[in-house]
Structure 1
Amino acid sequence: MASYKLLLLPGDGIGPEVMAEAEKLIAWFNAQGIARFETERGLVGGSAYDAHGKAISESDMALAMASDAVLFGAVGGPKWDKVPYEVRPEAGLLRLRKDLGLFANLRPAICYPALADASSLKREVVEGLDILIVRELTGGVYFGEPKTITDLGNGQKRGIDTQVYETYEIERISRVAFELARTRKKKVSSAEKRNVMKTGVLWNEVVTRVHAQEYPDVQLEHVLADNCAMQLVRWPKQYDVIVTDNLFGDV
């Protein structure tokens, strides 16, 4: 039987509680002989900052790189609101994403029948909902440089974050979305802000080309990200797979 190495990073807040339940499932798989998992534990986020003064240690990053998979809990909390920006708990999560090349974040939204009346939206709006948001995870404004705050004098400061995307980053995330759509309802909605952002213009251009050249059997529509957010509240079932950038996918 094949054996797989898992790194468990419970992190902060509810993370350890969730990870404890995951460990029960891992133990069950091992006991049943369904699969064999070898686990190691590490620190990330605020717990790593308390122990090492950084959001994730080099030794735990090495464990992550050597593992078949990483199970991640959660990071952050009020306790660490005042730590230096470079070592804030979320920095550990961002480094894991970047160094492990985790560029595709899959965010399903499914409304199970028993929960249809629990939503703040009307039953007819959410009943039977099954959509998938494909978020690009290692580019865009979260990783772009420069990222600075400059003191301009006279009590004024300037904050800069940089939104950057290259062609290959958009190509690979759009392919993930189209491939997934082929297993579902064969519809992709690409969300960006091409009306005000140059990265949105490039995003639209690249997704359109990849669709025409490689996935003509899948329906493609383009939607402005702010309108997409409104439509998700108004009538979310019009969507199947939504592909979007790091920031809009997070929002």
Structure 2
Amino acid sequence: MSTPSLLILPGDGIGPEVMTEVARVIEWFGQKRGMAFDLSEDLVGGAAYDAHGVPLADKTMEKAQAVDAVLLGAVGGPNYDTLDFSLKPERGLLRLRKEMDLFANLRPAQCFDALADFSSLKRDVVAGLDIMIVRELTSGVYFGEPRGIFEEGNERVGINTQRYTESEIDRVARAAFELARKRSNRVCSMEKANVMESGVLWREVVTRVQDADYADVALSHMYADAGAMQLCRWPKQFDVIVTDNLFGDLLSDAAAMLTGSLGMLPSASLGAPMANGRPKALYEPVHGSAPDIAGQGKANPIACILSFAMALRYSFDRGEEASRLEAAVERVLAEGKRTPDLLGEEGATPVTTAQMGDAILAALDESL
């Protein structure tokens, strides 16, 4: 197979800073593990608007469609708050997801032992936590039609439409069941079948997929609001959670904070396999652009580095190298090195963004 291609989109705010550290990690794997990548870089979000007047240029979209994977930093910032909705930085990210048809968003919520005390929940509730939330990403209320703000009588009304087809539910359910087979063989499907027809269809299709092809995987159903409560009460009851676009957005952010910091959490957005067998894929940290700390060396690069680890595992079939990188991150945290978002414990060693990158590279060297 030819050299794998990776498009880097640093984006806005702290995006370029954290991506710099990822680039160093990618270089390490090339030099020390013989893993060469065909790298290219382009603009997205506010950076793309400043250069091209749009949050994602057509040529950049063409590049994203052609490469094996896209790695994105973050988009957005207060400078763009007054732009028309269609030009806001986030529209660039949504266009990537939609046009690449990245229907399965994988959001792990893993609590490293060294950070268990950073969660707002008690240590015994979150220590050892390892959940995978599979969020449907290209349909539902964020994309359904009709949508917009309309005049109705003497006032305005905002409309968004929750819409799902059987095939859209089927494919994301299969993604969740396949992941569960590589984990603890349990899936919990969350929706609101008690009040939403789309939820009724969701539950029916997920059940049908499990009955037909995944009888070996345990399936349970839960209303999404009850699921949010259970995530706060006893999150370790879950292994893989599959849910729709809106509920997945909410539930994955709630699960993210169980781990102590948004700066720790990666994500993968996957689509159908390409001709070379690799899935269409975009990897990005869960955190935002954090413009208030941009350029100050305070950003935590771990979420973006772990997003590259997910790329190694899901796009490039190098699970052993992904585990090597994840173990290096865990070693650095166990040593007490902390960016500002993780400070607060006695004995912690404050480090900058670049120093955290240095420490992870040193831990990778020790793994050889």
Contact 1:6 1:39 in 2 (8 A): yes
How far does residue 30 in structure 1 lie from its aligned partner after superposition? 2.4
**What is the aligned partner in structure 2 of residue 219 from structure 1?**
218
Separation (CA, whole Å) in 1 of partners of 2:241 and 2:5: 32
The residue identity in structure 2 corresponding to 1:31 is Q
**What is the aligned partner in structure 1 of residue 159 from structure 2?**
160
Separation (CA, whole Å) in 1 of partners of 2:25 and 2:75: 22
1:2-52 C-alpha deviation (Å, 9 max, x unpaired): 412211101111111111111111222222352111211111111111111
Instruction: Give ranges in structure 1 of 5+ residues lacking alignment.
Output: none
Separation (CA, whole Å) in 1 of partners of 2:239 and 2:152: 47
- 2:19 pairs with 1:19: yes
* Secondary structure class of the residue paired with 1:19: helix
1:74-112 C-alpha deviation (Å, 9 max, x unpaired): 111111111000111111111101111211111111112
The residue identity in structure 2 corresponding to 1:116 is A
- 2:192 pairs with 1:193: yes
- 2:204 pairs with 1:208: no
Matched length:
250
How far does residue 152 in structure 1 lie from its aligned partner after superposition? 3.0
The residue identity in structure 1 corresponding to 2:117 is D
The residue identity in structure 2 corresponding to 1:60 is T
How far does residue 217 in structure 1 lie from its aligned partner after superposition? 1.0
**What is the aligned partner in structure 2 of residue 150 from structure 1?**
150
**What is the aligned partner in structure 2 of residue 67 from structure 1?**
67
**What is the aligned partner in structure 2 of residue 89 from structure 1?**
89
Q: How does 1:1-251 map to 2 (within 5 A)?
A: 2-32=2-32, 34-152=34-152, 154=154, 156-251=155-250
Contact 1:2 1:35 in 2 (8 A): no
1:167-218 C-alpha deviation (Å, 9 max, x unpaired): 1111111011111111111110000011111110100000010011111111
Which contiguous aligned blocks of 4+ residues in structure 1 show a shift greater than 4 angstroms? none
Separation (CA, whole Å) in 2 of partners of 1:136 and 1:185: 21
Separation (CA, whole Å) in 2 of partners of 1:33 and 1:216: 39
Normalising by structure 2, report the TM-score.
0.66
* Secondary structure class of the residue paired with 2:54: coil
Separation (CA, whole Å) in 2 of partners of 1:22 and 1:114: 22
Instruction: Give ranges in structure 2 of 5+ residues lacking alignment.
Output: 251-368
Task: Between the two structures, name the one with larger relative contact order (CA 8 Å, sep ≥ 6).
Answer: 2
* Secondary structure class of the residue paired with 1:146: strand
